[in-house]
Amino acid sequence: MALNKGKKGITSLFVVIFALILTFFHLYTAGISMFAAWIQRDIHLTLILALVFLIFPLRRGGEMEKASWLDWILIFLSLSSGLYIILFYQQIVLRAGMPNTADIVFGAIMILLILEACRRATGWVLVIIAGVMLLYNFLGPWIPGLLGHKGYSVSRVVSQMYLTTEGIFGVPLGVSASYIFLFIFLTSMLEKIGMGDFLLKLAMAVMGKYTGGPAKTAVMASGFMGSLSGSAVANVVGTGTFTIPLMKRNGYAAHFAGAVEACASSGGQLMPPIMGAAAFIIAEFLGIPYLSVVAAAIIPAALYYLGVLFGVHFEACRLGLKGLPREQLPNTWKVLKEGGHFLIPIVVLIIFLAVLRYTPVRAGFYAVLTAVAISFFRKETRLNLERFLEAVLAAARNTITVALACAAAGLVIGTINLTGTGLKISSFIISISGGNVMLALFLTAIVALIMGMGLPTTAAYIVVGTMAAPALVQMGLLPLSAHLFVFYFAIISAITPPVALAAYAAAGIAKDDPMKIGFTAVKLGLGAFIVPFLFSLNPALIARGDLWHISLSTFTALCGITALAASSIGYFAKPASKLERVLLLAGALLMLKVGLSTDLIGLAFIAGALVLHFSRKTALPTQVKTPA
C-alpha cells in the first residue's frame, strides 16, 4: 500500500513508523531471537491495532484519511493494553488464576479494541460471531439443551481471553505473529521488485499459444500469484486487470472471463509452497511440520487447477477460439533470462524447508534476505528505499485482516475451550448425520461455505475447523484430511454466490453482473466442490499410502474431474449430447466413493459416454455466445 501523497501528515508519518517497527520486529525475531510466545503475540497484535486505527480512521471517505482525536485515543489504549502485558509479565504469570482489577480493565479494553478494529477492517460478520460467542459465556445457564452450561463471570471470561494463550493470544495469533507477516513481507517485496510482471509474462509465454490461450494464461498466472499473495480478491485485482481484458479480446464472454479469473485466483491459497495463512495454522493445530501440510496439498491443488483448465479448454473449443499468434507472445527463454532470478527466493525457501529442515520462520527469513540480494541482479529491479517502504506498507496493510481474524477467532476458541462447546458441537454433528461420514462432510461443507462468504478465509477455517473437524476425525477421517476439507471449502466460498467476493472483484474489471460471474465460476470450478470429498474419503490423494495407490487414485480422480468439466461445459472433442453429459456426470460422481468397484463403474460410464461421443456422426449445433 503506497501512501497517498495528497494525504501526507501526522497520520501518514505514524503509519510508516508503526509499519517499519512491525517489519523490523519480525525480521529480528525470525533471524536473531524469538520472544516468549505470549510477548511475541502481544507486540504483534498491539502494532496491528495501532495501524488499524490509523489506516481505517473513524471518519473517512476512503483509507488513509486524517485520524480523529478518538482514533488517537484508541491508539493510546491499544499501546497501553499491549504494554501492560510486557511491563507486568512476571507478576501476571505469578498470580495466574487470580487476576487483579488492572488485569480485568486492560483485558476488557483489549477485547473491545479487537472488536472495533475487526469492524473497521473486515466488516460486521466477524464482530457479530465473536460478540455472540462472548455473550454465550455469560448466558449459558439460560440456554436449554445441549448447548447450556453453568455460566462464567466477567473476571473469568476476560482472564481466559487476555491472560492466557487459550484466548486472544492462542495458536491462530501465534501463527500470525510468527509466520504470516514474514511471508507476506516476502511476497510484497517480490511484487514490488517485479515478480508479478515476470509471472504474467511467463504464463503468457508458456500457455498463450494454446487453444483459448489467454484464459489458460490467467489460470497459470493466478495460480502462481495466489500462492504468493494468499488473497483471492487481491489476486483478482492484481492479475485480472491484465488477463480479463485479454480474454475478452480473444473472444470470451465478459462473464466467463471474470469467472476464469475468480476461479483461478481463489485456488491460489491451495498452491504450494507458500499457500495461505490457514495452512500454517493447520500445522500448528495438528502439531505437524508445515511441510507435511504442503505435501498433502499438492495433489488436491493440481486437481483443482486441472479442473479449471479443462473447463477453460472445453469452452474455448466450443467457441472455436484459438491461441494467440506467436508474434504477440513473449519468448519463454527471454522471459526466464530477464526474470528467472525472481524464482531463486522460492527455491531457497523450498531448500531450507524440505532439504535442510529449517523451521518456516527461519526459512522465510533467509528467503527474505535472498529476495533483497537478487533484486540487485538487474538495475530495473533494484530494491531502493521507495520500493522497500512500499513493500513494508503493503505487508502491514495485508497482515491486518489476517491478524485481526486470528485475534477474533481466539475469542471464539477461548469460549469453546472455556465452555466445552467443542465436544457438544462434535456430538451434535455426529448425531444429526446419523454417523454417515458423507452427510457429515456435506453439512460441514455448507457451514464452511456460509462462514467463508462473510469472513476472511483464515477466520472461516478456524471457526468451522475448531467446531466441525473434531467430529469428522471421530467419524474416522484423518485429522489432516478433516482440516484440509474445511480449509478447502473456506477458500472456494470466494466464488460461491450470493457473496462471492472474488466474483465481485472480477465483475468490476470485466464490467458484467457479479452474480452471473459467480454462477459461471461455480460451473467452471465444479470440480473444486468435488475434490475435497475425494481426498477426505481417500487419503491417497493427500499423499498417504504407497506409490501405487497414490498414482491410481490420482488417475481416477483426474478422470472424474475431466468428465465433470466436459459434462458441465457440454463439450469434449465436439459438442456433447444430453445423454453423453449425463453419463459423464454419473461417472464423475461415482468417483466420489472410495473403492475399486465404484471406480470401475464410474470409468465404465465415462467410457460409454466417450464411445457414444466419438461414434456419433450427427453433429450437434454449437451455440457460440458473442463476447460481451
Question: Of 574, 579, 601, which Cα lies nearest the Cα of 590?
Answer: 601
In tens, the pLDDT along 175-188 reads 999 988 999 999 89
Question: Of 482, 98, 474, which Cα lies nearest the Cα of 286?
Answer: 482
For residue 65, what pLDDT band results from cuts at 50, 70 and 90?
low
For CA atoms 250, 251, 252, 254, the dihedral sign is positive
Please tell me the distance from the alpha carbon of residue 128 to that of residue 117, in angstroms, as a whole number. Answer: 13
Residue 60, pLDDT score: 56
Please tell me the distance from the alpha carbon of residue 369 to that of residue 361, in angstroms, as a whole number. Answer: 13
Please tell me the distance from the alpha carbon of residue 237 to that of residue 507, in angstroms, as a whole number. Answer: 10
| Residue 595 region by backbone torsions, left for phi larger than 0, else alpha for psi between -120 and 50, else beta | left
Residues 6+ apart with CB under 8 A from 546: none
Residue 620, pLDDT score: 62
Q: What percent of the chain has pLDDT over 70?
A: 95
Residue 3, pLDDT score: 44
Do the domain assignments include residue 116?
Answer: yes
Grid cell, residue 388, equals 522497500
Q: What is the mean pLDDT of the chain?
A: 88
Do the domain assignments include residue 9?
Answer: yes
Residue 1, pLDDT score: 41
Residues 6+ apart with CB under 8 A from 133: 411, 412, 415, 416
Do the domain assignments include residue 199?
Answer: no
Residue 8 confidence (pLDDT) above 60: no
Please tell me the distance from the alpha carbon of residue 448 to that of residue 619, in angstroms, as a whole number. Answer: 42
For residue 232, what pLDDT band results from cuts at 50, 70 and 90?
confident
Question: Of 589, 575, 513, which Cα lies nearest the Cα of 253?
Answer: 513
Once rounded to an integer, what is the mean pLDDT over residues 113-121? 94
Residues 6+ apart with CB under 8 A from 141: 148, 149, 150, 151
In tens, the pLDDT along 418-469 reads 998 888 888 888 888 888 899 999 999 998 888 887 778 888 898 888 888 9
Do the domain assignments include residue 20?
Answer: yes
Q: Coil, helix or strand for 571? A: strand
Tally of domains in the chain: 1
* HEC per residue, 435-475: CCHHHHHHHHHHHHHHHHHHCCHHHHHHHHHHHHHHHHHHC
Residue 618, pLDDT score: 65
Answer whether 0.75 is exceeded by the pTM. Answer: yes
Residues 6+ apart with CB under 8 A from 87: none
Do the domain assignments include residue 528?
Answer: no
Q: Coil, helix or strand for 94? A: helix
Do the domain assignments include residue 386?
Answer: no
Residue 5, pLDDT score: 45
DSSP letter assigned to residue 276:
-
Do the domain assignments include residue 92?
Answer: yes
Please tell me the distance from the alpha carbon of residue 296 to that of residue 292, in angstroms, as a whole number. Answer: 6
Do the domain assignments include residue 105?
Answer: yes
In tens, the pLDDT along 468-511 reads 899 999 999 999 999 999 999 988 888 888 878 889 889 989 99
Residue 102, domain extent: 5-135+150-163
Once rounded to an integer, what is the mean pLDDT over residues 164-182? 91
Residue 598, pLDDT score: 86
